[in-house]
Amino acid sequence: MLPAPSRSLALLAFLLLGACVTHDPQVVTIDTAAESFEPHPDGPLAFEEAVRVLVARNPELRATRARIDAVNINPGPGTVRATQQVMDGRATELMVQTDLLALLGLGPRRAETAWARAVRDERLREHHQRARDLVADLAAAYAVEQALSALPSPKVEIDIDAFEQAGLASDSVLSAARGLQAEGAAEARVISARVADARREIARLIGAAPTSTILPVEWDAATPAIETPDRRQLILARGDLQTLMAAWHRADLGFKYEVERQFPTVVAGLGGNLDLNAPMQLIGVHLPLDAPARAKAARHAREAAFYDLESGVLAALHDAESALFELEAARARHDAARARVQAADDLLAAERAHLQTDPEGLGRVVFVGGRRVDAARMLRETSVAHARAYVGAARAAGWPAPELVEAAR
């Protein structure tokens, strides 16, 4: 039997062995979280550089990376239990117990380790998928910003004061002319606000404060080509399908782990007041009675994960085709709007020329000018829709590729 001081020291050592990681206190409030966002340096920001900054600084991606590291991929052999009996104020028996099979790397521990690594792989793929989704959102913001910035001015300039002073137009025509100018100026303000909002969205995606002054550039060089992938290419390219595949793998290994848990575990113990010549002084068996039911549930979870994968593949194939149809429809509407703007410009030029010989033709200029502002509004709307549809079609076909995100890390 071990002396009492030795037993106390042994028990204290067991207590101290568990304290390997310390807690570092942090004071977090909404205000401190809001102050953590810094404005991005002002000036031009190329798309490829924006992707790099997004992957590095976006808070959502930082969270997914932390969740990857939060998975313990090397679960230990279990708990080592130490008990000290006290009788009449005197320490008597010291007993140390542990799971013998787990200590030897046998039993369900190996399956648990494989399952934990599958969980980590699933979270890693979720990170890649979310990163690619955010890069696609960034591309949409760049495309919209460029489409809006390239729009012609919606304003129709008319020297109303000259006609009013010369008395060459009625009050109703002059009022209509002022309304036309106000409408054109309002549409110009809408375009300016939409451009500013697209740049604000870029700042959000790269983890910068909304006060950042960013000028998106070099989108043309980064514009993805749209190709119709076959089934295998689509599965390899789309991040959501890779995530579903990882989820099935995790469910499969989880099922295997629950199957391994059905078998009993062997507990070995060593006491301090027994015959020290016997290396194993206590042998126990733990029988998990709930393991068969848990194994059956895990098998159904694996089946559900397979059908989720099957559903995802089917949806991805249809999504890729549907996105191409949506792009074609958006392109047709955009072409029609551009033709309408061109026709209104041509007609307005003709009416302006007619106004030079017929000062009373201001009403006709105002009428055609109204159609020109309407066409400009339609062009703005279809330009945004076409930009989003183009990025959506590329996204449905598997863009951005994993290499784009990996290169930005």
Q: Which residue has the higher pLDDT, 274 or 146?
A: 146
Residues 189, 200: Cα–Cα separation, whole Å = 16
Dihedrals phi, psi of 108, to nearest 5 degrees = -80, -5
Which of the two residues, 6 and 26, has the higher pLDDT score? 26
- Which residue has tokens 């010549």? 277
Region 94-100: mean pLDDT is 60
**Residue 50: per-residue pLDDT:** 94
In angstroms, the CA 360 to CA 364 distance is: 9
Averaged pLDDT, 134-159: 95
User: Of 101-110, 287-296, 381-390, which one has max mean pLDDT?
Assistant: 381-390
Mean pLDDT of 3-10: 50
Look at residue 111 in the predicted model and tell me its pLDDT. 76
188: pLDDT confidence band, cut at 50, 70 and 90?
Answer: very high
Give me the residues paired with residue 286 across strands: 265
What DSSP assignment string belongs to 266-298?
EEEEEESSS-TT-S--EEEEE--TTHHHHHHHH
CA distances from 37 to 103, 299, 350 (A): 47, 45, 54
Angle between helical axes of 109-149 and 47-57 (0-180°, round to 10):
140
Q: Could you give the C-alpha distances from 391 to 144, 226, 396, in angstroms and in order?
A: 10, 9, 9
Angle at 404 between CA 407 and CA 386, to 5 degrees: 150
Q: Cis before residue 400, ω within 30 degrees of 0? A: yes
Chain segment 319-358, per-residue pLDDT in tens: 888 999 999 999 999 999 999 999 999 999 999 998 888 8
15 or 354, which is more confident: 354
Q: Determine the pLDDT at residue 3.
A: 52
Predicted local distance difference test score (pLDDT) of residue 400: 87
Average pLDDT over residues 256-260: 81
Would the pLDDT of 2 be above 50?
A: no
* Mean pLDDT value across the chain: 82
Specify the 3-state DSSP secondary structure of 154.
Answer: coil
Residues forming a β-bridge with 96: 82, 270
Q: Which of 56, 57, 66, 54 is nearest to 36 (CA)?
A: 57
User: Binning pLDDT at 50, 70 and 90, where does residue 89 land?
Assistant: low
Tell me: pLDDT of 9 over 50: no
Mean pLDDT of 50-73: 90
Q: Provide the pLDDT confidence category of residue 186 given band limits of 50, 70 and 90.
A: very high
Q: Which of 51-65, 117-131, 184-198, 370-384 shows the lowest per-residue confidence on average (mean pLDDT)?
A: 117-131
pLDDT: is 5 or 83 the higher one?
83
State pLDDT tens for residues 261-282: 776 665 655 555 545 455 445 5
Is the pLDDT confidence value at 136 over 80? yes
Report which of residues 95 and 304 the model is more confident about: 304
Query: What pTM value is reported for the model?
Result: 0.78
Q: Which residue has the tokens 């017929």?
A: 358
Q: In a 3-state reduction of DSSP, which class is residue 142?
A: helix
**What type of residue sits at position 224?**
P
The single-letter code of the amino acid at 23 is H
Query: What does the alpha-carbon distance between residue 16 and residue 23 come to, in Å, rounded to a whole number?
Result: 15
Contacts of 370 (CB under 8 A, 6+ apart): 180, 183
* Helix spans in 223-283 (H): 231-237, 239-260
Q: Say if CB 102 and CB 109 are below 8 A apart.
A: yes
Mean pLDDT of 83-96: 61
Question: Can you give 312-381 as a three-state secondary structure string?
Answer: HHHHHHHHHHHHHHHHHHHHHHHHHHHHHHHHHHHHHHHHHHHHHHCHHHHHHHHHHHHHHHHHHHHHHH
DSSP 36-80: T--PPPSEEEEHHHHHHHHHHH-HHHHHHHHHHHTS-SS--S-PP
Percent of the chain with pLDDT over 70: 74
Contact 254, 116 (CB under 8 A): no
Phi and psi at 22, nearest 5°, equal -105, 155
More confident residue, 115 or 83: 115
Residue 401 backbone class (left: φ over 0; alpha: ψ -120 to 50; beta: rest): beta
Average pLDDT over residues 130-153: 95
Contacts of 385 (CB under 8 A, 6+ apart): 330, 333, 334
Q: At 128, is the pLDDT very low, low, confident or very high (cuts 50, 70, 90)? A: confident
What whole-number distance in Å separates Cα of residue 186 and Cα of residue 153? 11
Tell me which DSSP letter residue 168 carries: -
Q: Give whichever of 75-89, 105-119, 291-305, 323-337 has the largest mean pLDDT.
A: 323-337
CA nearest 152: which of 407, 379, 392, 382? Answer: 379
Nearest to 321 by CA among 229, 257, 254: 229
Q: Which residue has the higher pLDDT, 33 or 340?
A: 340
